[in-house]
A = this chain, B = another copy of it.
Amino acid sequence: MTRLKLGMVGGGQGAFIGAVHRIASRIDDRFDLVAGALSSDAKRAAASAAELGIAPDRSYADFRDMAKAEAARADGIDAVAIVTPNHMHAAPVIAFLEAGIAVICDKPLCLTKEEADQIAAAVKRSKAPFILTHNYTGYPLIRQARQMVADGKLGKIRIIQAEYAQDWLTLPADPGNKQADWRTDPARAGGGAIGDIGTHAFNLLSFVTGLETEALLADLHSMVNGRRVDDNAHILLRMKGGAKGMLWASQVAVGKENGLQLRIYGDKGSIEWGQENPNVMTYSVFGEPKQIITRGGAGLGGGAGQWTRIPPGHPEGYLEGFATLYNDAADLIQGTGDGALLPGIKAGLDGMWFIGACIASSKKDGVWIKR
Contact = CB atoms under 8 A, between A and B. Distances in A.
B359 A220 contact: yes
* This chain: copies in complex: 4
A351 B131 CA distance: 14
Interface string A332-371: 1110000101111101111111111111011001111111
B24 A325 contact: yes
Interface in A34-68: 50-53
A184 interface: no
Given A254-B270, A354-B199, A27 B371 contact: no
Nearest to A291: B289
A100 to B, nearest CB: 12
A178 interface: no
A2 B53 CA distance: 8
A283 B284 CA distance: 15
Interface string A221-236: 1010000001011111
B158 A313 contact: no
B53 A1 contact: yes
A18 to B, nearest CB: 12
B325 A135 contact: yes
A194 B357 CA distance: 10
A180 interface: no
B254 A266 contact: yes
Interface string A183-201: 0000000110011001100
A326 B291 contact: no
Nearest to A360: B218
A112 to B, nearest CB: 8
- The dominant DSSP class at the A interface is mixed
Interface in A266-281: 266-270, 272, 275-280
A14 interface: no
Contact of A315 (B245, B278, B312): B278
A8 interface: no
B255 A132 contact: no
Contacts of A353: 213
Contact of A322 (B20, B108, B277): B20
B351 A108 contact: yes
Q: Specify which of A4, A20, A300 lies most central, judged by the most chain B CB atoms within 10 Å of its CB.
A: A20
A250 to B, nearest CB: 6
B132 A348 contact: yes
